[in-house]
Chain A
Amino acid sequence: MASMGIDTPRRRAAGLVCTGILVLIAVAFLAPLVWLVLSCFDASAQTSVKFPDHPSLDNFRAVMNTDLAWRPLWNGLLLCGGSALITVLIATLAAYPLSRYQTRFRKPFLYTVLFATGLPITAIMVPVYGLFLRLQLIDSMPAAAVFLATTSLPFAIWLIKGFIDNVPISLEEASWVDGATPMVALRHIVVPLIAPGMSVVLIFTFIQAWGNFFVPFILLQSPEKLPASVTVFTFFGQYGAVAYGQLAAYSVLYSMPVVVLYLIVSRAMGGAFRFAGAAKG
């Protein structure tokens, strides 16, 4: 708004008020984070916020071992990386015919997919637990990864179909003349062109899965199979009251990968938020 009209004193005052409110909001959003940042360097941290008497990396040293941090982080990588790869692969396969061929079922199917993106996954966890129990899949990491992938499929199909819609069909027509099957055309012509979009979906699905606590909490049981999202919580339950500093350090370690990935994605998208727009098809 500063760009239009003349700069009057009244407008300058309004601008200062806006800046003041924004700074207050930013401080309020920052306040809860202060505890996390200060506590992870304070070996004697409690829930209260205070500057560490002897700032050190002791908390990180204490949690950086196989049982506490490395194995859960590795499990998280397997579980979430696996589910993100499955999601992108299956969604791309499904999106191709949905983008290219016209059938009676296409539209209802796409609307059902969009409808499914809105359903609360939390609500189906009790029946899914029953299903996994019956199929003896409880505590199986591959099964949990496939389930996580299924929960993100509808959104991924919707996004990737949008990407394929934007690839001009003429490129594929040329390959058909040379006798290429649709699957060959998908692999060699469409996928290279939509690769940037696919990698954004891949990273986005990974971030979602990495933060998911409820699904592995319900479907996995053995401590050596749990991903970091669950072990941070169990650490809180077991040692939280005595070792808040270590809990904070552990939380920072667990949060680091998704913060870095988010920075990469937002850079790649030019800092703009395009998912809301992309979801509109």
Chain B
Amino acid sequence: MAPRAQLAGEELAGAVGPIASPRRARAARATRHLPLAPALVMLFLFFLGPVLWSIYSSFTNAALTGEGAQNPQWVGLDNFRRLFSDPNVTNGIWLTVVFVLGSAVIGQNLLGLAIALLMRGRSRWLRGTVGGIVVSAWVLPEVVSALIWYAFLGQNGTLNQIMKAVGMSGQDWLYSSPMLAVIIANTWRGTAFSMLVYNAALDDVPTDVQEAAELDGATGWRRLWSVTLPLIRPAIVTNLMLITLQTLSVFTLIYVMTAGGPGFASATLPVLMYQQAFKFSEVGYGTAISLLLLAIGAVFSFVYVRVLKPEA
């Protein structure tokens, strides 16, 4: 499409009125990009602006109330020095890594791939039913998923009822293993996306390659490992990047289920950022944490664009 669009651009320059002078032509070239302006203004004001402001204010002691709110003072690298010596932040980074690895890379990705593979060749009815149930978990709003899992894992919740029925003793899962609880909930919520991506990718795998491998005597596992997986590698990479980016910024699910607790036991970076900025009113410090999160996201997003190399 690109060369064609380029051609159109040249032609259009001639089409915008009779072009008498080079100045006119320049003006026409400028005005035809005018429709970009509203998008640029919005992105600059609400996207780039806040990012730049956060870089600035992370060097101040800005606060929601008190002296820091009136005239924030320049504090240099204090926030960052505090950031890297704060056990809650180190803990938050670790919990974020555990959350992303557990719920996205392992949970959603592997479960999604497994479901998509198991669905191959099954009846239309079975595929539709299982797919529909998995997708329904994905379609529900995040707050509702969090409430459902709050009820499911609570002291009197469904899980404990099942465990009691088979003679095991239950516990308040949100209190005893909060990270496991939010990881399972986020896996439940997000698996549908990976499943849909892998379903689409597997649909594109030519069957004759599979058949050839089978004729050569390759077993099921061998075919999966040496034929299918290499063929859908681009989908795996895209999916891993997308779900990692999504999972990095999960706030609502964790906040509603555990509020980061007990203590700081499930306070991943987004939750910690919120607590510092709004609960403890330290906007400057909260911003420093958000900058850390933004930097991690930026690295992944950059790699994503580089790996994908789409035709722009």
User: Which residues from B are CB-within-8-Å of A222?
Assistant: none
| Complex Cα spacing A169 to B7, Å | 10
Task: Tell me, yes or no, whether B11 is within 8 Å of chain A by CB.
Answer: yes
Please tell me if the beta carbons of B35 and A123 are within 8 angstroms of each other in the complex.
Answer: no
Q: Is the CB of A153 within 8 A of B42?
A: yes
Per-position 1/0 for B202-231, Cβ under 8 A of A? 000001001100100000100000000000
Interface presence of B154 (CB below 8 A): yes
Residues on A with C-beta less than 8 A from B148 are 32-33, 35-36, 251
* A70 located at the interface, meaning its Cβ lies under 8 Å from any Cβ of chain B in the complex: no
Residues of B within 8 A of A233 (CB): 143, 256
A120 vs B38: C-alpha distance in the bound complex, in angstroms?
A: 22
Q: A5-B214, A251-B147 are in contact. Are A153 and B290 (CB under 8 A)?
A: no
Residue of B nearest to A39 (CB): B151
Indicate if the CB atoms of A22 and B210 lie closer than 8 Å. no
- Asked whether, in the complex, the Cβ of A26 is within 8 Å of the Cβ of B147, the reply is no
Contacting pair B300 A124 (CB below 8 A): no
Check A13 for interface membership: any CB of B closer than 8 A: no
Q: How many A residues touch B, CB cutoff 8 Å?
A: 106
- Shortest Cβ gap from A38 to chain B (Å): 10
* Range for the number of chain B residues in contact with chain A: 35 or more
> In the docked arrangement, what's the CA distance between A117 and B291, Å?
17
| Residue contact B122 to A18, C-beta cutoff 8 Å | yes
Say if the beta carbon of A136 comes within 8 Å of chain B. Answer: no
Question: Across the interface, do A1 and B210 meet the contact criterion of CB distance under 8 Å?
Answer: yes
Query: Is the Cβ of A26 less than 8 Å from the Cβ of B129?
Result: yes
Cβ A232 vs Cβ B143 within 8 A = yes
Interface centre among B9, B144, B300 (most CB of A within 10 A): B144
Query: Nearest chain A CB to B114's CB is how many angstroms away?
Result: 8
- Residues 132-172 of B contacting A (Cβ, < 8 Å): 133-137, 139-144, 147-152, 154-158, 161-162
State how many angstroms separate the Cβ of B153 from the closest Cβ of chain A: 9
Q: Are A22 and B147 in contact (CB under 8 A)?
A: no
Output the least CB separation between B29 and chain A (Å): 8
Instruction: Check B12 against A182 for contact (C-beta < 8 Å).
Output: yes
- Given the complex, which residues of B lie within 8 Å of A110, measured CB to CB? 312
C-beta contact mask, B174-208 vs A, less than 8 Å → 1, else 0? 00000000000000100100001101100000010
Rounded to whole angstroms, the CA-CA distance of A119 and B300 in the bound complex is 9
Q: A126-B277, A207-B139, A259-B140 are in contact. List 19 more A-B contacts (CB 8 A).
A: A3-B121, A4-B214, A15-B122, A21-B118, A29-B134, A32-B158, A35-B158, A47-B154, A47-B156, A97-B35, A103-B33, A116-B47, A122-B290, A131-B46, A172-B8, A213-B142, A274-B200, A276-B235, A279-B242
What would be 20 A-B contacts, judged by CB atoms less than 8 Å apart? A22-B119, A26-B133, A29-B137, A48-B161, A49-B161, A93-B39, A99-B5, A101-B8, A115-B298, A119-B294, A119-B301, A123-B249, A124-B47, A126-B277, A126-B286, A130-B57, A149-B42, A169-B4, A259-B139, A276-B242
Footprint of B on A, CB under 8 Å?
A: 1-5, 14-15, 18-19, 21-23, 25-26, 29-36, 39, 46-49, 90-91, 93-94, 96-103, 106-107, 110-111, 114-131, 146-147, 149-151, 153-154, 157, 165-166, 169, 172-173, 176-177, 181-183, 186, 207, 210-211, 213-214, 218, 229, 232-233, 236, 244, 247, 251, 254-255, 258-259, 262, 272-274, 276-277, 279-281
Closest 5 CB pairs of A and B: A118-B301, A120-B249, A94-B39, A127-B54, A273-B196
